């Protein structure tokens, strides 16, 4: 692993608070990275995301490759310029989307949006993956070099290795073979980047290996021993919270202390606490934005997994805000009764207000964790949140 522009300012056990210095600015960690999969945090403008306090967003290599195409984005000045977001961007590799097309949530999400068109995996081989595009039905290919090329064209601050994200139900044999291939793909990513990587773009390897301790540990060693700037933890992390936390610990162990660590696709409140506690610096997840679009608000309620489902009839006549101490527009200006009504009839205004609320909640929570690490009160803070304390 190479040296990275990451400064750790404070620690609490394994937890760290720091600053990642990137071409488009600094990112204070631990950081939550909202999804801007299609070059927008859905329903918000880039300026609004910045005003919420976020310093980095995640662009989706797979979606942007298919539409509008990375070449077009490059001609328009790169992803930052294209979407009007001038702070750092991390791009995922497309691996997750390519592999979950056949069996996962991505396929379903795309199906809902696109009507009859659906992407389909045509073949998975050493070279890469052939699939049919949901945009125009054309056959497309993505392999490690393609993914690196797209991420270079997008001009992200942080690129991720092209990996196979083994599904939850994979057995040990498949996971072992897949993880080996992911390691060979990591080498191909590194080889491509040696000649072609944009100046200053960081590169994170992805630890796979499913829930199998030896595979995870081996993968973690392999990534830590490669020319990467940091480590991302991907793939199936287990069925239970405790199993997930253990998988994260195995994945991080061999990584140099100074390397930034990203936990992919995780964003529940208790998981963010546990992740930070285990030494994770960055998270990306659809949870706050997707829940918001579907009528659910994040609240300080551990018994309900920090979720308040505003579409429930119980809120129809409520004159209370979602949270009286939340500074977001949904809470300052509106009642649960009104938001219930808007969410039930599927109004855009509901999607937007609840997206703003959920990202306000997570921003306050991340900022609380950072402050607690610096103040030496992370354990208290963590216990408080798990007991239902407000993050505001």
122 sits near its own copies (criterion: CB under 8 A): no
Q: Is 342 in the site for its own copies (CB under 8 A)?
A: yes
Among 68, 102, 104, 198, which residue sits at the site for its own copies (rule: CB under 8 A)?
Answer: 68
Looking at residues 93 to 112 of the shown chain, list those that interact with its own copies (rule: CB under 8 A): none
- Cα separation of 289 and 252, whole Å? 27
Site for its own copies contains 40 (CB under 8 A): yes
| Binding segment (CB under 8 A) for its own copies, from list 41-49, 149-157, 162-170, 249-257 | 41-49
x/- string (CB under 8 A) for its own copies, residues 257-296?
------------------------------------x---
Specify whether 229 is catalytic: no
Q: Which stretch binds its own copies (CB under 8 A): 124-132, 181-189, 214-222, 345-353?
A: 345-353
Residue among 110 and 263 whose Cβ is closer to its own copies: 110
Give the nearest distance from C-beta 217 to its own copies in angstroms: 41
Number of residues lying near its own copies (CB under 8 A): 41
Q: How far apart are CA 42 and CA 346, in angstroms?
A: 15
Q: Is 348 in the site for its own copies (CB under 8 A)?
A: yes
For the chain, the C-alpha Rg in angstroms (whole number) is 20
Q: Does 74 bind its own copies (CB under 8 A)?
A: no
Cis peptide, bond prior to residue 30, ω within 30 of zero = yes
- Picking from 116, 135, 124, the residue whose alpha carbon sits closest to that of residue 66 is 135
319 binds its own copies (CB under 8 A): yes
**Among positions 38, 133, 367, 390, the unique one binding its own copies when judged by CB under 8 A:** 38
Kindly report the three-state secondary structure assignment for every residue of the chain. Answer: CCCCCEEEEEEECCEEEEEEEECCEEEEECEEEEECCCCCCCCCCHHHHHHCCCCCEEECHHHHHHCCCHHHHHHCCCHHHHHCCCCCEEECCCHHHHHHCCCCHHHHHHHHHHCCCCCEEEEECCCCEEEECCCCCCEEEECHHHHHHHHHHHCCCEEECCCCCCCCCCCHHHHHHHHHHHHHHHHHHHHHHHHHCCCCCEEEEEECCCCCHHHHHHHHHHHHCCCCCEEEECCCCCCCHHHHHHHHHHHHCCCCCCCCEEEECCCCHHHHHHHHHCCCCEEEECHHHHHHHCCEEECCCHHHCCEEECCCHHHCCCCCCCCCCCCCHHHHHCCHHHHHHHHHCCCHHHHHHHHHHHHHHHHHHHHHHHHHHHHCCHHHHHHHHHCCCCCC
To the nearest whole angstrom, how small is the minimum distance from the Cβ of residue 119 to its own copies? 14
Q: Is 92 a catalytic residue?
A: yes
Among the listed residues 187, 270, 284, 309, the single catalytic one is: 284
- For its own copies, the binding residues in 193-212 under the rule CB under 8 A are none
Instruction: Give the one residue of 1, 15, 17, 39 binding its own copies; rule: CB under 8 A.
Output: 39
Taking the least distance from each CB to its own copies, the nearer of 38 and 390 is 38
Which among 9, 26, 92, 163 is annotated as catalytic? 92
Residue 57, interface with its own copies (CB under 8 A)? no
Q: Which stretch binds its own copies (CB under 8 A): 26-34, 91-99, 202-210, 350-358?
A: 350-358
Per DSSP, what are the bridge partners of residue 27?
20
Q: Which of 2, 13, 14, 77 lies at the binding interface for its own copies (CB under 8 A)?
A: 77
Looking at 1, 12, 15, 44, which residue binds its own copies (CB under 8 A)? Answer: 44
Select from 136, 347, 379, 380 the one that contacts its own copies (CB under 8 A): 347
Report, as residue numbers or ranges, the catalytic residues. 92, 284
Catalog residues that contact its own copies under the rule CB under 8 A: 38-47, 67-68, 72, 75-77, 82-84, 113, 293, 316-317, 319, 329-330, 333-335, 337-338, 341-342, 345-349, 351-353
């Amino acid at each position: 692993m190479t040296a990275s522009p990451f400064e750790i300012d404070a620690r609490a056990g394994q937890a760290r608070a720091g600053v990642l210095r990137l071409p488009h600015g600094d990112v204070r960690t631990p950081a939550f990275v909202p999804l801007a999969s299609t070059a927008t945090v859905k329903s918000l403008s880039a300026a609004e995301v910045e005003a919420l306090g976020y310093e980095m967003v995640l662009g989706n290599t797979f979606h942007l490759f298919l539409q509008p195409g990375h070449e077009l984005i490059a001609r328009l000045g790169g992803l930052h310029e294209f979407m009007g977001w001038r702070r750092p961007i991390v791009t995922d590799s497309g691996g997750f989307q390519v592999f979950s097309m056949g069996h996962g949530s991505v396929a379903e999400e795309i199906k809902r949006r696109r009507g009859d068109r659906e992407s389909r995996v045509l073949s998975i081989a050493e070279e890469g993956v052939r699939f049919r595009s949901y945009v125009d039905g054309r056959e497309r290919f993505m392999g490690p070099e393609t993914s690196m090329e797209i991420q270079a064209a997008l001009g992200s601050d942080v690129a991720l290795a092209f990996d196979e994200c083994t599904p939850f139900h994979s057995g040990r044999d498949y996971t072992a073979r897949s993880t080996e291939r992911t390691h060979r793909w990591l080498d191909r990513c590194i080889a491509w980047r040696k000649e072609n990587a944009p100046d200053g773009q960081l590169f994170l390897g992805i630890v796979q290996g499913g829930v199998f301790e030896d595979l995870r540990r081996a993968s973690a060693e392999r990534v830590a021993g490669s020319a990467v700037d940091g480590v991302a933890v991907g793939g199936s992390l287990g069925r239970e919270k405790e199993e997930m936390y253990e998988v994260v610990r195995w994945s991080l162990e061999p990584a140099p202390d100074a390397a930034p660590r990203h936990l992919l696709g995780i964003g529940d409140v208790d998981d963010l606490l546990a992740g930070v506690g285990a030494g994770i610096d960055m998270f990306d997840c659809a949870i706050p934005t997707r829940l918001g679009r579907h009528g659910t608000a994040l609240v300080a309620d551990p018994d309900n997994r920090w979720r308040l489902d505003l579409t429930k009839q119980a809120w129809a006549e409520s004159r209370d805000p979602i949270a009286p101490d939340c500074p977001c527009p949904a809470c300052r200006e509106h009642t649960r009764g009104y938001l219930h009504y808007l969410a039930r009839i599927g109004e855009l205004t509901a999607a937007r207000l609840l997206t703003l609320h959920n990202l306000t909640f997570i921003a306050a929570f991340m900022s609380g964790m950072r402050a607690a690490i610096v103040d030496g009160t992370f354990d208290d803070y963590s216990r408080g949140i798990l007991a239902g304390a407000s993050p505001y």
